[in-house]
Amino acid sequence: MNERGKSGFILIVVVLAMMMVGVVQADEVSEIEQDIETYQEQKQQKSRETEEANQKLEEIEAKINQAYDEFQELDEEAAKTESDIEETERDKAQTEEEISALQIKIEELEERIAERDKLLKDRVRSMYQANGSLDYVEVILGASNFSDFIERISALHSIAKQDRNLLDEHIDDQKALETAQDELEEAALRLENQIEELADLLEDIEQQLKEKEDIVANLEEQKIDTENFIVSNEEEMAIVESQEAAAKEELEQAKARQQSAQGGSGALQWPTPGRTVTSSYGPRTHPVHGTEGFHYGIDISRNGGTTITAAEEGTVIGARYMSGYGNTILISHAIGNQTVTTLYAHLASIDVKQGQRVSRGEKIGVMGTTGVSTGIHLHFEVHEGGWNGQKSNSVNPLNYLN
């Protein structure tokens, strides 16, 4: 390979390397952008899940409240049934007491009936057996006359009849009492059945209460699970959010790296040793006046040093105090086939004179804060063509700086 071939080859390699740097950084940016998108999707997913869980939680709480209401109703029903049972048991006990009282009366009557029956039988027997087996006949035959005879017979009959009537009355009384007792026993049986039914009802209610308790316990468990899910989901959300914030930071840095790697045309040299831009070219709020405006240059911080050097070889066309700019130097350069003007403002001191030729990188002054300025920095402008009051030729200096 000859010299020309060699340098051509080197140029191609350099250009390819520069292109690759750009490609690699473009990939890094798009990768981070993809990550951010993923985080945003995750966040959306999480907030959907949290929203759903909150809705579920509301539903569970409504169900729990309803279950508690039903629980209370059943509890009241159980208490009422219990008092019904008690009342019925009291009724039954009273009925049983009445039955016992009747039983005693019946027994008394039975005794009286037995006595009366015996008396009647004795009386009849005595009619036949007074002083022997023919007493009745003798009483009748002992009559002195017919009238006496009739009297004797009817006396005997009337005594027997009275006894008979009393006996019949007693028997009627006993029957009535027995009927009353039967009725009371039936009533007692009905009360007993009623108690059994109430007991069944109570058992049923208690079973329902038990079921409700299980339902509530289950719901409470679901509620805790859902609440835990919401909390952990919110914690995960916070992590995703910080990951997203970190990725955004990385993206800014990657973009800045890409920007600086792409750089400007390299036609101009940085006018300060430090290359920290504190305010970029473009629209901004004025740091002193607070008005919306346009920043026609870049501000470079004092970090790295305060020596100001010429960005390119050229002729000093201005070196004086200017309104707003403070101590200012303007240099005209020929770059390619056009004129480019650079401007250095707010200088502490000016080391060159108007009309002077300066070389690239030559010291021309010292950084300061003269004019309208908030602190020591260099305000640096680049104009394609000459400088004018409207700054209509201004361009972003970064397009030219290497």
Q: Write down the least CB distance from residue 366 to Zn ion, Å.
A: 17
Binding segment toward Zn ion, per CB under 5 A, in 89-97, 167-175, 236-244, 291-299? 291-299
Residues numbered 147 to 166 that lie near Zn ion (CB under 5 A) are: none
- Token pair, residue 98, equals 């009445």
Q: Write down the least CB distance from residue 272 to Zn ion, Å.
A: 13
Is residue 346 at the binding interface for Zn ion, with CB under 5 A as the rule?
no
- Token pair, residue 36, equals 């951010």
For Zn ion, which is the closer residue by CB, 191 or 331?
A: 331
Q: Write down the least CB distance from residue 332 to Zn ion, Å.
A: 20
Cβ(91)–Cβ(191) under 8 Å? yes
Is residue 299 at the binding interface for Zn ion, with CB under 5 A as the rule?
yes
For Zn ion, which is the closer residue by CB, 8 or 293?
A: 293
How far is the C-alpha of 153 from the C-alpha of 158, rounded, in Å? 9
184-223 mask for Zn ion (x: CB under 5 A)?
----------------------------------------
Binding segment toward Zn ion, per CB under 5 A, in 74-82, 120-128, 322-330, 371-379? 371-379
Bridge partner list, 298: 380
Q: Is 364 exposed, middle or buried (0-12, 13-18, 19+ CB in 10 A)?
A: buried
Own/partner pairs, 163-168, CB within 8 angstroms, 24+ separation: 163/116, 163/119, 163/120, 163/123, 164/120, 166/116, 167/113, 167/116, 167/117, 167/120
Give whole-number Cα distances, 281 to 151, 261, 307, 397, 398, in Å: 160, 18, 22, 8, 9
Q: Write down the least CB distance from residue 287 to Zn ion, Å.
A: 8
Q: Write down the least CB distance from residue 295 to Zn ion, Å.
A: 6
CA 13 to chain centroid, in Å, comes to 61
For Zn ion, which is the closer residue by CB, 309 or 328?
A: 328
Q: Write down the least CB distance from residue 288 to Zn ion, Å.
A: 10
| Residue 345: strand, helix, or coil | strand
For Zn ion, which is the closer residue by CB, 25 or 365?
A: 365
Residue sitting closest to Zn ion (CB)? 379
Give whole-number Cα distances, 77 to 82, 196, 199, in Å: 9, 16, 12
Q: Write down the least CB distance from residue 48 to Zn ion, Å.
A: 47
The site for Zn ion, by CB under 5 A, has a size of: 2
Is residue 381 at the binding interface for Zn ion, with CB under 5 A as the rule?
no
Is residue 379 at the binding interface for Zn ion, with CB under 5 A as the rule?
yes
| Residue 377: strand, helix, or coil | strand
Binding segment toward Zn ion, per CB under 5 A, in 43-51, 152-160, 208-216, 293-301? 293-301
Q: Write down the least CB distance from residue 30 to Zn ion, Å.
A: 33
- Token pair, residue 267, equals 């036609």
For Zn ion, which is the closer residue by CB, 118 or 284?
A: 284
How far is the C-alpha of 174 from the C-alpha of 109, rounded, in Å? 6
For Zn ion, which is the closer residue by CB, 299 or 312?
A: 299
Binding site for Zn ion (CB under 5 A): 299, 379
